Chains A and B, each alone.
Chain A
Amino acid sequence: MEKIRLLVADDHPVVRAGLRTLLAAEPDMEVVGEAVDGKTAVKRALELTPDVVVMDLTMEGLDGLAAIREIVSRLPETKIVVLTMHDNEEYLRQALQAGATGYVLKEAVDTEIAVAIRVVQRGEVFLYPSFTRVLLGDLAQAGDADERSERDDYESLSDREKEVLRLVALGDTNREIAERLFLSVRTVETYRARIMEKLNLKSRGELVRYALRKGLRPDEVGGPPGKR
C-alpha cells in the first residue's frame, strides 16, 4: 500500500515536531516536508506535490488562507487539512471557501488528525463534529427565514404608513422620522407598531428584509464590490 505523503505547515516548531512524531506512528503516512509559513508551504508543495497538506491558518497574519488558495489552484490533486486553534465557523467558512476539505481543532489533534487525513485523501470532507451541527443549524435557520411568509398586505398600508415603513427601513431614528413627517415621536411609534402588525413583521430585521424585497429603498446603492 502506498503511503500518504504529507506536508506539515505550522509556524510553531513544537507543533511541527509533535505532528511528525504523531504521524510517524501511523503506518500509512509519511511526512515528506515541513514549512514555517504560507509562502514556504506553497513552495514546498510545488516541489514535493504531497497528497495532503496539514496547514495552520494563522501563520504570520493570515498567510494560511492565501497559501491554501494558491496550492489548491496549482495542485488540484493535493488536499488540505486545516489544523487550527480557531473553534470558529468564520474561519471554517473561509478555509472551505479557499479550498480546504478538512478542518481539525488543535485540542483534538491527537485523535482526529490521522482520521481527517485519510478522509480527505479519499476525496471526502472532514469537519470537527461540533461544526457539522453549526452548519446544520445555519441551514435550518435559512429555511426558517425563507418559509416565514409575511402576509403581503402592502396595499393595506396608508400613504403615511408606507412612508414611515420606508424611513424605518432606511435606519432613521423615530425622532428623525417624526421631524421629517411633522409628527410626534409617539405617533411614529404607533405607526410603526401598526405597520408591523399589518405586515406581520416581528422585528426590525424582518422589516428591513421586507422593504428590500419590495424595493422600498430606492436609494439603495451599496456600490459595486471592490469599487475602491
Chain B
Amino acid sequence: MGTRRKYYHSLRFKITLGLLLSVMVIMAVTSYVRYVSFRDYMMESLESAAGNREQFVESQMASYVRSRVILSVSTLIVILLVSDLMLSRVVVGRLKQFLGVVEQVGPGNLEARVAAGGHDEIAELAAAFNRMTEELQRQTEKLSTLNTLAVTVGQSLNLEEVLHTALREVLDLTRLETGWINLRGEEGGKSHMRASRGLPEGAALAHADCTWDQCICAGVFGSGRPQVFRIEQRPPCPAAEYLQTEGLAFRACVPLKSKDLVLGVMSLAGDASSSPWMFTEDSLEMLTAIGRQIGVAVENASLYEELHQKEMLRRQMLERMITLQEDERRRIARELHDQTGQRLTSTIMTLGLLEETIRTPEGRAYVRDVRDTAAQILKEIRDLALVLRPSVLDDLGLLAALRHCLKGYQSRYRLLVDLQVLGLDGKRLPPEVETALFRITEEALTNVVQHAQARSVTVLLEHRGSSVMLIVEDDGKGFDVARVMDSRPHEGNLGLYGMRERASLLGGTLTIESTPGRGTAVFVRIPLEGKEGERGEDSPAGGR
C-alpha cells in the first residue's frame, strides 16, 4: 500500500503521467485538424482530377505520408517542449534551491536546512541531507566542546588548577552543580579526592580518602568505562548518604584515562531531573571522551609536578652539597691555619732559639736546616689552606679575595689581570654571593689559563641597583659556546655547567659569549633582593 502511494508521489510517475496527457491532448487536436483539412483537400482534388485515377491515388498517398511525417515530428517537438517545461518546474527549480543549501553547508554553515515540501525523491534526498547536516552539527559541537575543554584544561601545568578547571568546565557543560575528582593514590587500593564543587562538606570528608572496595568508583577505576547509577542503589559508598540528603539522585562516574591507565575518576551528581540526560548513550560517550582529555591533562600536570619536585630536590641537594663542601673546606683551612700553623710557628721559634745555643757550626747548620724545613712546611700549609678556601674571603670579603687571587694568577701565569670594582664602596655582599662569585671567577680564570692562550683578562665586579654583576673577559682564542654548552655535560664542559649552577642557585644567570679569535666573556648577574647580609658597617673592609 505504502509503496504504491509512494509511487504516486514519485517523480517518474508524475513525468510519465504528464507526458501521456500531453501526447493525448496533442493527438486529439492534430486528429481533428487533420480530419478537417484532409476532407477539404479530398473534395478539391476529386473535382480537379477526375480523369487519371491511378495518378490521383499516387499523389494522394504521397501527400498523406508527407503530412503524417510532418505531424509526427511536430508532435514530438511539442511533447519535448512541454516535458521540458514540466521538468524544469517540478525538478530543476527545487534542485537549484537544494544546491543553494549545499553550498552554504559546505563552508561550514551547519544551521542551513533544505525546506521541507512534497513527498518525492527530491524531498527524500532533502530529508536525508538535513539529517546528515544535523549529525554533522552535533559531532562538530561535540568536537568543539572537547577542544575547548582540552585547551582550557591543558592551559595549566598545575595539577590542582587542571582538576578544578576541568571540573568547572564539565559541570558547566552538563548543567550540573555537584561533582568531584578522585585521583589514584600512591599506595594501591586508595584514591584521594583532589577537587570538588558543590559537594556537601560531610560528603567531601567522607570521600576524601576513598578505599576502592568501598566505593562505587572502584569499579570505574577497574573497568575504565563510565557508569551511571541511582544513588540509593549503592549504599556502601561513603558519600551516598550525604548526597541523598542533598536531594541528589543520580551519579555518573567518568574515568580519567591516559594511555589506557585510569588515573582518576570524575563523579558528577544530579537530581532526579538529570536522569534522562545522564542515561543516554550519547552523553556517556561524550563523557568518556571528556575523561580522556582530562586524563591527558592530568598526566601532563602530574609529570610536570614530579619533574618540578625533582628539580627542586636536585637544587636543594646541590645547594646543600656546595654549602657542605665550602663549610668543610673552611673548617680544614682554619684547622691548618690555627692548629698546625701555630704549632709549626712555635717549633720554628724553638728551633731558632736552639740554634743560638749550639756552639759547633755543624750543629748550627743542622738545626738551621730543620728550621727551614719547618718554615717551608708552614708555607705549604698556608698555600693548601688558601686553595681550600682563602681565609681572606671570610675575613676581608670578596674584593680582597679577588685582588689576592688575581695577583696570584698574574705572577704565576704571566697574565695581565685588570680588576675593576664599581659601586661596591667597601660594602660586603651576602656570604653565599661572595663565595659563588669567587668560585666562578676562579673557575673562569682556570679556563682562561688552561684553554684561552690569552694575554690579558679583565675581571669586572659591579654592584648596581639591586644586583651584582661579574664579568670575566679575556682576549684569548675563544671557542664555540653553542657547541660546547648545548652538548650534554661531560668532562670538557662540566666546569662551565658548575659555574652556571652556582649562579642559578642564587637566582642569578650566567652567560658566556665567545667568538673564535676574539676572546671569551663570562657574564654573571645575581640579584640581591631578599639576601640580607651586606655587612658594610662593621666590616674591616669598610675602609676606616
* Nearest chain A CB to B381 CB, angstrom units: 9
Using known A-B contacts A90-B400, A228-B534, determine if residue A109 contacts B513 with beta carbons closer than 8 Å. no
Decide if B401 is an interface residue (CB 8 Å cutoff): yes
Q: Are A225 and B518 in contact (CB under 8 A)?
A: no
Tell me the smallest distance from the CB of B312 to a CB of chain A, in Å.
Answer: 28
Our pick among A15, A19, A174, A225 for the contact of B427 (Cβ within 8 Å) is A225
Q: Is B493 an interface residue (CB 8 A)?
A: no
A62, B337: Cα distance in complex, Å: 14
Q: Flag A47-76 by CB within 8 Å of B: 1 or 0 each.
A: 000000000001001100110010000000
CB-CB under 8 A from A193, the residues of chain B are: 518
Say yes or no: is A222 at the interface (Cβ < 8 Å to chain B): yes
Closest A residue to B357 by CB, please name it.
A25
Mark each residue of chain B from 433 to 467: 1 if its CB lies under 8 Å from any CB of chain A, else 0. Answer: 00000000000000000000000111010111100
**Given A107-B375, A203-B473, A225-B427, does the pair A171, B337 have CB atoms closer than 8 Å?**
no
* Surface stretch bound by B, among A29-37, A81-89, A152-160: A81-89
Please determine whether B349 and A225 come into contact, CB atoms closer than 8 angstroms. no
Nearest CB on B from A16, distance (A): 9
Contact-size category for A: 35 or more
Question: How long is the Cα–Cα vector from A195 to B356 in the complex, in angstroms?
Answer: 65
**Please, what's the 1-or-0 string for B307-325, where 1 marks a CB less than 8 Å from any CB in chain A?**
0000000000000000000
Q: Which B residues are in CB contact (< 8 Å) with A18?
A: 345-346, 349-350
Residues of A within 8 A of B148 (CB): none
Whole-angstrom CA separation of A193 from B518 in the bound complex? 9
Set of chain A residues within 8 Å of B426, measured between Cβ atoms: 225-226
How far does the Cβ of A211 sit from chain B's closest Cβ, in whole Å? 11
Q: Which residues of chain B come closer than 8 Å to A22, judged between CB atoms?
A: 349, 352-353
A184 within 8 Å of B (CB atoms): no
Q: Does residue B420 face the partner (Cβ distance < 8 Å to A)? A: yes
Q: Is the interface of A mostly helix, strand, loop or mixed?
A: helix
Does B407 sit within 8 A of A, measured CB to CB? yes
Q: B30 contacts the other chain (Cβ, under 8 Å)?
A: no
- Complex partner residue of B356 from A14, A25, A93, CB under 8 angstroms: A25
In the assembled complex, A21 has its CB within 8 A of some CB on chain B? yes
A positions within 8 Å CB-CB of B: 10, 12, 14-15, 17-19, 21-22, 25, 58, 61-62, 65-66, 69, 85-91, 93-94, 97-98, 106-111, 134, 171, 173-175, 189, 193, 202-206, 208-209, 212, 219-226, 228
- Name 29 A/B residue pairs within 8 A (Cβ), A-sorted: A14-B343, A15-B349, A18-B345, A18-B350, A21-B350, A22-B352, A58-B337, A87-B379, A97-B543, A98-B540, A106-B348, A107-B345, A110-B348, A110-B349, A110-B352, A110-B353, A134-B407, A171-B471, A203-B458, A205-B418, A205-B419, A205-B460, A206-B418, A208-B422, A208-B458, A220-B422, A222-B463, A226-B536, A228-B427
In the A-B complex, the 7 residue pairs with the closest CB atoms = A110-B352, A205-B418, A18-B349, A222-B423, A90-B400, A205-B458, A14-B346
